[in-house]
Structure 1
Amino acid sequence: MPQTAPRHRIRIGATTVTYLPDGAVHADPEVIFPATAARDWTSHRQLLDTNGWLTATVGSFLVRTDSSAALVDLGLGRVNFAVPGVATYQGGRLLASLHAEGLSATDIDLVLFTHLHRDHVGWTSDGMGGLTFPNAWHLVDRAEWDHWQSHTDATGPDLETVLTPLSPIVEFFDARPPEPGLQTIPTPGHTPGHTSVLITDPASETRLLILGDAMHTTAQLTEPHWHFRSDADPALATTHRRVYPVIGVSGVVDQ
């Protein structure tokens, strides 16, 4: 039976990248990958639980150097609900995972969003009108931000807890590039402004790529044409999966 991903650290030179679990999603694979049928999952049975549903861990990536601490994506937030016949969603562990690394919310200097679907922005605000990470710059792709100003979708960011708190302070990758060692790579398709993040360090030749939702499961390593139900442009999303074919289990590429 598949297990959710634990907190895990990778070192690249003097930089550390730590996966911080927030929660998990269990979903009917034939529903979330609408072009598939039961027979298509026969060779991927190891990814399915005893109910035949796909298990996915949702969380954030902590990128630490000697001078800064950044988060890539902000998980599900404190949620526990089900969409009957589709998926269950449970989150709420991100701050505890961060504290286990010896950090608090005020220690985060930078937040990068790969995109603004609800399972990537859950800890944006503190529920009282403020930001969960009050000392951090919050960056996103400009096309992604503009898209959600005029589109209402159940998968998109909540107005009260995400868009409104971010509006006065959000910045865009084209105007304020992330700090050295963090390079944004446009990978639209899942959403109009979806972005992946390449992490490098001058002391190492290793590079890591945080994919966001350019890929949702390792089954797509061999089935890159399988599109996700909420892909805005399935063909474009598939193109980017073919460009980055060597993907780590938790969304990190070691190239």
Structure 2
Amino acid sequence: MTNTTTEQARDRMPSAERLRRPAVTRSLRLGDTKVTYVPDGAVELSARGWFPRSTDEDWAAHPEYLDDSGNLAAGIGPLLVEHGDRALLIDAGFGPQSIPAQPGNPRGAIHGGALLDNLAALGRPPATIEAVAITHLHLDHIGWAWHPAPDPAPDRDLPAFAGRDLLVAAPEWAHRHLLAARGITDDILRAMAPQVRTVLDGDEIFPGVHVLLTPGHTAGHASYVITGGGERLIAFGDAMHSPVQVDHPEWSAAADLDPDRAAQERRRLVAELARPGTIGFGVHFADVVFGRVHLDGDGPAWRPVAD
């Protein structure tokens, strides 16, 4: 079961403070399995721009989600899953690059590059990772899967996770041509292709880790369900970008390929997350990446849990 200290920690810091900053490294245990959010970088999201169905009145009622610049603070980084000596990554961060905010773009400034140092601090350099499971083929989830590692060795042009399987849902890979508008170039896809192994809904890809297809954000977006110690954790990628969507699943993101399907999948996810013994992992959920969905008279709400 999740450590009792994990449950107690959720109220040690005001949630509003944590909602306004990107996440730091955080871990919890599911029996013999340890999961750790590993930061790579961060991105700013325009509240109204990122959620076009929201209104100024909505955000006036939810000021706790907005940072000092009036944006949503979101982290970028993978989930490290460790079981015994084995390790899996879910997603691969943004990589060693940065893009400034651009007028009219609902996505503000974005940067990455910290992943390899943070993995090394955890004793998990890329050579110890057996595979990288990709939720979807957007730049902030595949960065280190194609960027060369910063290494002075002769093979420095190889990606950081060269030689490791890149697990991609079959419908996501089949529809990769739809991602050109999101900056996924042929060169990026060619760099990844030799390592890609497609997976299907329900496949077990690592001890206690199963694929759960949640399309809408992209054609083949995948979540991953991790079970252990009598509990389960759903790592839902970009099916949700902010904990405010737990209470507002109808708020599709500007980047959702199919906004209506994405909203349908969010409603299904919220219902699953509200079941007993279930924890969620929202990679972009500011500094409340691990949480549970609680139901009360005001509707579902995200309650953070952390180490």
Single out whichever of 206-215 and 118-127 deviates more from structure 2: 118-127
Q: Offset of 1:88 from its aligned partner?
A: 0.8
Q: Give SS of 1:83's match.
A: coil
Aligned to 2:296: none
Pairing of 1:193-208 with structure 2 (within 5 A): 193-201=220-228, 204-208=229-233
The yes-or-no answer on 1:5 pairing with 2:19 is: no
Aligned to 1:22: 40
Q: Give SS of 1:167's match.
A: helix
Pairing of 1:90-239 with structure 2 (within 5 A): 90-127=111-148, 129-148=157-176, 150-160=177-187, 162-174=188-200, 177-201=204-228, 204-239=229-264
TM-score computed with the length of structure 1 as normaliser: 0.92
Distance in 2, Cα, partners of 1:91 & 1:38? 30
Deviations 1:13-45 (A, max 9, x none): 111000001111112111111122222112221
Aligned to 1:64: 82
Distance in 2, Cα, partners of 1:252 & 1:91? 21
Query: What amino acid is the match of 2:166?
Result: H
Q: Is the CA contact 1:183–1:198 (under 8 Å) kept in the aligned structure 2?
A: yes
Q: Which ranges of structure 1 fall in alignment gaps of 5 or more residues?
A: none
Q: Is the CA contact 1:118–1:157 (under 8 Å) kept in the aligned structure 2?
A: yes
Q: Which ranges of structure 2 fall in alignment gaps of 5 or more residues?
A: 1-16, 149-155, 274-279, 294-307
Single out whichever of 77-86 and 221-230 deviates more from structure 2: 77-86
Q: Give SS of 1:213's match.
A: helix
Query: What amino acid is the match of 1:194?
Result: H
Distance in 2, Cα, partners of 1:4 & 1:15? 25
Q: Offset of 1:49 from its aligned partner?
A: 1.1
Distance in 1, Cα, partners of 2:179 & 2:221? 17
Q: Give SS of 2:127's match.
A: helix
Deviations 1:131-183 (A, max 9, x none): 311242211011111211x33534243332x3112212211113974122110
Q: Give SS of 2:257's match.
A: coil
Higher helix share: 2
Distance in 2, Cα, partners of 1:84 & 1:125? 24
Q: Give SS of 2:175's match.
A: helix
Q: Give SS of 2:96's match.
A: coil
Q: Give SS of 1:122's match.
A: helix
Number of residue pairs matched by the alignment: 251
Distance in 1, Cα, partners of 2:212 & 2:179? 26
Q: Offset of 1:252 from its aligned partner?
A: 4.4
Q: Which of 34, 37, 41 is residue 55 of structure 2 equivalent to?
A: 37
Q: Is the CA contact 2:87–2:128 (under 8 Å) kept in the aligned structure 1?
A: yes
Distance in 1, Cα, partners of 2:93 & 2:254? 19
Q: Offset of 1:254 from its aligned partner?
A: 5.2
Q: Is the CA contact 2:89–2:131 (under 8 Å) kept in the aligned structure 1?
A: yes
Q: Is the CA contact 1:32–1:229 (under 8 Å) kept in the aligned structure 2?
A: yes
Q: Which protein has greater RCO, CA pairs closer than 8 Å, 6+ apart?
A: 2
Distance in 2, Cα, partners of 1:215 & 1:68? 28
Query: What amino acid is the match of 1:223?
Result: H
Identity of aligned residues (%): 34
Q: Is the CA contact 2:200–2:211 (under 8 Å) kept in the aligned structure 1?
A: no
Q: Give SS of 2:124's match.
A: coil
Q: Which of 255, 265, 278 is residue 240 of structure 1 equivalent to?
A: 265
Distance in 2, Cα, partners of 1:242 & 1:174? 22
Structure ID, larger Rg: 2
